[in-house]
Amino acid sequence: MSENNNDDDLEMGDVGPGYLEAAGEGVGAGIRGYVIGLALAALLTAASFYVESTRLIWSPGIPVALVVLAVAQIGVHLVFFLHITTAPDNTNNTLALAFGVLIVALIFGGSVWIMAHLNDNLMPLMQQTMPMRQ
């Protein structure tokens, strides 16, 4: 039987974010990643407020700019805070995230569909049977 040495096989992508020492990376590097993520998230949030309040962007283009900044914000959160990367061991994390997004989309879409068709499914109003006063 051959002896399997896991220390040689460890890479940064092979450990969870709480076990940086196992990958040869210290706590300072982990904190630095969170601080960079926080700075980028704050910068993107400030940029969203700036885009909304400035006249530098053509008015119909403001929603597009806000969507782009929102997608960038999602990317920052996925990479810096949820540690979703392209490493092979992150397949389960990515699938769990995709499943969560699917469930939220189904609930949101189902709610919107129910609200849009609510009037069609209501019972008709009862006709008034009482005589009107003169």
The amino acid present at 26, given as its one-letter code, is G
What's the mean pLDDT in 98-102? Answer: 91
Which stretch of 8-17, 52-61, 62-71, 103-112 has the lowest confidence by average pLDDT?
8-17
pLDDT above 90 coverage of the chain, percent: 37
The per-residue pLDDT for 16 is 58
Q: What is the mean pLDDT of the chain?
A: 80
The per-residue pLDDT for 116 is 86
What's the mean pLDDT in 90-101? Answer: 85
**What is residue 109's three-state secondary structure?**
helix
Which token pair is 124?
Answer: 């008709």
pLDDT higher at 118 or 25 = 118
Domain range summary for the chain, segments of one domain joined by +? 7-85, 87-119
The per-residue pLDDT for 92 is 82
pLDDT tens-place string over residues 30-52: 789 899 999 999 999 999 999 99
Question: 């969170």: which residue's tokens?
Answer: 34
Question: 């609200």: which residue's tokens?
Answer: 115
pLDDT above 90 (res 110): yes
pTM above 0.85, yes or no: no
What's the mean pLDDT in 54-69? Answer: 91
Which token pair is 129?
Answer: 């049977």
Distance in angstroms (rounded) separating the CA atoms of residues 77 and 80:
5
